[in-house]
């Protein structure tokens, strides 16, 4: 039988350097990790995989052929209607797991977050929901109990967009609730996990980590790895609020600029990584400076968030007109305020 990489699940091979799963070793028996995982784990390097979204959709469809329980992970920071994208592929019983609670302000109430997600979710197969943080071990005891309660055939699949935190969760569950001391590769970059990976948690439960569907609109597809590392929130976001009159704008690291075009004095709260510079200024009319930026005009209602997928969002209290400039192709959209 072909041997799989213990980090990302890809079948190991030593014939083609440019294909996923390559190892520089004549004997595959001697290695557990592909070169890509080895370098990611030891040097933080990242190599783009040549897997496509279709490969990942095939994997999801195969899960649909089982009866097994699915944990569907959604990242609280980037949550939107996209959470419904798996509905057409999966009929399994699902626990909806909202991840990375530690990034959002502590002052947010879990119940409100749950209600927000409940309102956008249209999936009838969700049997329970939970908010967790793998980083802070928040609610993992409750999650384990849920898994035991709803377990159907001993296999539990982890599904969700890339970077929703699947592999990190597998590693935390292994660390906290298992004697199995293996671990899988997780990283800040998209598409780290390349194929399904079965990991025995205990005699009753086997976790199956999967590659995620690529969120094509996320900023991580459009910026360099160094910038990704900087703009990805790692700790609790400290929101920054500005009371602005029209004619002012907010600049976020020269990546995003939000102009307040028209409306009464208004409140803008920016939720982005604490390492992104956020400053207020007069609208910058230097056209040449923003020549390569795209811009979007929004006529927004009271209590809306403008979301820059993967980068963050800006909560605006009163209805108004704004223009958002961005220096790449990230998906930008408006939603009802999360909180
Ligand atoms: N702050 C925070 N970051 C997390 C958490 N879980 C995962 N991450 C980060 O999210 C990124 C993607 O995680 P990973 O587990 O590889 O996602 P996967 O693609 O779904 O397997 C990594 O940078 C993780 O460190 C969490 O609970 N809190
Ligand atoms: Mg993964």
Q: What is 201-249 written as a DSSP string?
A: -SSS-EEEE-PPPP-TTSGGGTS-HHHHHHHS--S----EEEEE-TTEE
Q: Are residues 159 and 71 in the same domain?
A: yes
Q: Are residues 249 and 287 in the same domain?
A: yes
Beta bridge partners, 208, equal 157, 198
Instruction: Let me know if residue 228 belongs to a domain.
Output: no
Q: Are residues 157 and 282 in the same domain?
A: no
- The β-bridge relationship of strands 126-131 and 94-99 is parallel
Number of domains the chain contains: 3
Q: Are residues 200 and 148 in the same domain?
A: yes
Q: Are residues 78 and 200 in the same domain?
A: yes
- 248-252 β-sheet, strand order: 278-282, 248-252, 256-262, 320-326, 294-300
Q: Give the pocket of ligand 1 (CB within 6 Å).
A: 99-100, 102-103, 133-135, 160, 162-168, 186-188, 192-193, 212, 234
Question: What's the rounded Cα separation, in Å, for the pair 263 and 260?
Answer: 8
Question: What's the rounded Cα separation, in Å, for the pair 219 and 232?
Answer: 10
166-177 helix and 140-150 helix, angle to the nearest 10 degrees? 90
Tell me which residue has its CA closest to atom 1 in ligand 1: 234
Question: What's the rounded Cα separation, in Å, for the pair 323 and 278?
Answer: 17
* Cβ-based neighbour number of residue 86 at 10 Å: 23
Q: Are residues 252 and 315 in the same domain?
A: yes
Of ligand 1's listed atoms, the one at least distance from the Cα of 134 is: 27
Q: Are residues 43 and 91 in the same domain?
A: no
State the distance from the centre of ligand 2 to the C-alpha of 210, rounded, in angstroms. Answer: 7
Q: Are residues 196 and 81 in the same domain?
A: yes
The ligand whose atoms approach the alpha carbon of 188 most closely is 1
What is the best residue among 186, 215, 235 to mutate for testing ligand 1's pocket, by most ligand atoms within 8 Å of CB? 186
What is the best residue among 7, 168, 214 to mutate for testing ligand 1's pocket, by most ligand atoms within 8 Å of CB? 168
Q: Are residues 1 and 119 in the same domain?
A: no
The CATH number of the domain holding residue 149 is 3.40.50.300
Instruction: Let me know if residue 232 belongs to a domain.
Output: no
Domain that holds residue 11: 1-47
What is the best residue among 163, 193, 199 to mutate for testing ligand 1's pocket, by most ligand atoms within 8 Å of CB? 163
- Contact by Cβ (8 Å): 156, 208: yes
- Contact by Cβ (8 Å): 66, 155: yes
pLDDT in tens, the chain (339 residues): 689 999 889 999 999 998 999 999 999 999 999 998 888 888 777 776 666 667 778 888 899 999 999 999 999 988 877 788 888 889 999 999 999 999 999 999 999 999 999 888 899 999 999 999 999 999 999 999 999 999 999 999 999 988 899 999 999 999 999 988 888 878 777 778 778 899 999 999 999 999 887 788 889 889 998 999 999 999 999 999 999 999 999 999 989 999 999 999 999 999 999 999 999 999 998 888 888 999 999 999 999 999 999 999 999 999 999 999 999 999 999 999 988
Tell me which residue has its CA closest to atom 23 in ligand 1: 188
Beta bridge partners, 248, equal 282
Tell me which residue has its CA closest to atom 9 in ligand 1: 165
Domain limit, last residue, from 150, 180, 215: 215
Of ligand 1's listed atoms, the one at least distance from the Cα of 162 is: 19
């Amino acid at each position: 039988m072909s041997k799989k990489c213990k980090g990302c699940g890809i079948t190991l091979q030593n014939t083609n350097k440019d294909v996923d799963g390559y190892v520089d070793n004549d004997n595959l028996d001697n290695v557990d990790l592909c070169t890509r995982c080895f370098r990611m784990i030891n040097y933080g390097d990242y190599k783009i995989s040549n897997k496509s979204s279709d490969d990942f959709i095939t994997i999801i469809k195969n899960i649909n052929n089982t009866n097994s329980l699915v944990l569907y992970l959604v990242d609280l920071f980037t949550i939107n209607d996209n959470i419904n994208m798996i509905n057409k592929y999966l009929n399994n019983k699902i626990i909806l797991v909202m991840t990375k609670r530690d990034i959002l302000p502590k002052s947010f109430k879990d119940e409100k977050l749950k209600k927000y997600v409940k309102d956008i979710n249209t999936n009838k197969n969700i049997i329970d929901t939970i908010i967790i943080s793998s980083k802070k071990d928040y609610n993992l005891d409750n999650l384990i109990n849920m898994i035991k309660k709803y377990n159907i055939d001993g296999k539990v699949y982890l599904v969700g967009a890339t970077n929703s935190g699947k592999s990190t969760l597998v590693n935390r569950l292994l660390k906290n609730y298992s004697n199995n001391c293996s671990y899988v590769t997780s990283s800040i970059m998209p598409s780290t996990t390349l194929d399904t990976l079965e990991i025995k948690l205990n005699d009753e439960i086997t976790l199956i980590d999967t590659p995620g569907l690529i969120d094509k609109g996320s900023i991580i597809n459009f910026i360099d790895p160094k910038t990704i590392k900087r703009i990805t929130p790692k700790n609790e976001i400290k929101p920054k609020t500005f009371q602005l009159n029209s004619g002012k704008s907010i600049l976020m690291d020269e990546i995003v600029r939000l102009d307040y075009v028209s409306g009464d004095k208004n409140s803008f709260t920016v939720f982005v990584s604490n390492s992104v510079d956020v400053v207020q200024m007069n609208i910058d009319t230097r056209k040449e400076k923003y020549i390569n930026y795209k811009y979007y005009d929004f006529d927004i209602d009271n209590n809306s968030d403008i979301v820059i997928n993967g980068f963050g969002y800006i909560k605006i209290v009163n209805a108004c007109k704004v223009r958002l400039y961005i220096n790449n192709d990230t998906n930008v959209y408006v939603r009802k305020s999360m909180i």
